[in-house]
């Protein structure tokens, strides 16, 4: 119905917790769109121009517009909505928690520990997402124009490494990125000791913090 809107940022407000509403003025009309926090942080100040890709939904007879930074992000949002028990709030929480390639990779690899980092997503919900979307996303990621990185520790090591890093306070995005860097740039073998993966990942994460 509405593929995208391009207009002037008229306002951004946070409503009831993590719900962020962008008001976009297009040809004299103001549109309210629910958007991920991540997108809201990337938008220009009031008066700036933005292009937002949209998803239209009617819930309880109320029309709602959701906005996203790219067609791929919107398409993944729509894929998540097809999973039983997943509504817009949980789908946006997943998109806010992980970068798009990291989220797709977590679903395809059935990486439950990463998915449950999203607010409101429990183990059973994460398992259901993987079960219902894995095969779809393997094909979709190719047509979407990006490929998921394969770097990282072997499956038997991955969960322990992630749980340790999460316990230290690192986010799902930070952990995913660090493990990819350790694998691709440093060249640590997939079957290296858990302690080596943790040590190298923390070293990378610490150096990133210092550089900020």
pLDDT tens-place string over residues 108-148 = 888 898 899 999 999 999 999 999 998 898 888 767 655 55
Average model confidence (pLDDT) across the chain: 87
Instruction: Supply the pLDDT for residue 174.
Output: 84
What is the helix (H) or strand (E) element at residue 143, kind and residue range? helix 123-143
| Gap between the Cα atoms of 40 and 55, Å rounded | 16
pLDDT bucket at 94, cuts 50 / 70 / 90: very high
Whole-prediction pTM: 0.75
At 32 the three-state DSSP class reads strand
Percentage of the chain exceeding pLDDT 90? 46
Contacts by residues 115-119 (CB-CB < 8 Å, ≥ 24 positions apart): 117/166, 117/171, 117/172, 118/90, 118/93, 118/94, 118/172, 119/18, 119/93
Neighbours of 69 (CB within 10 A): 19
Tell me: pLDDT of 212 over 70. Answer: no
What does the block give as tokens for 122?
């429990």
């Amino acid at each position: 119905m509405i593929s995208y809107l391009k207009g002037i940022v008229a306002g951004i407000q946070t409503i009831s917790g993590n719900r962020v509403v962008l008001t976009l003025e297009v040809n004299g009309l103001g549109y309210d769109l629910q958007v991920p926090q991540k997108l809201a942080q990337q938008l220009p100040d009031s008066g700036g121009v933005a292009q937002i890709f949209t998803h239209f939904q009617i819930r309880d007879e109320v029309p709602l517009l959701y906005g996203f930074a790219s067609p791929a992000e919107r398409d993944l949002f729509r894929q998540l909505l097809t999973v039983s028990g997943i509504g817009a709030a949980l789908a946006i929480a997943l998109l806010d928690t992980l970068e798009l390639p990291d989220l797709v990779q977590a679903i395809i690899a059935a990486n439950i520990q990463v998915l449950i980092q999203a607010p409101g997503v429990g183990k059973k919900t994460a398992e259901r997402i993987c079960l219902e979307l894995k095969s779809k996303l393997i094909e979709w990621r190719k047509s979407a124009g990006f490929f998921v990185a394969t770097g990282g520790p072997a499956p038997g090591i991955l969960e322990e490494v992630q749980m340790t890093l999460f316990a230290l306070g690192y986010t799902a995005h930070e952990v995913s990125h660090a493990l990819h860097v350790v694998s691709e740039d440093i060249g640590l073998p997939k079957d290296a000791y858990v302690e080596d993966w943790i040590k190298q990942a923390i070293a990378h994460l610490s150096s990133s913090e210092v550089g900020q």
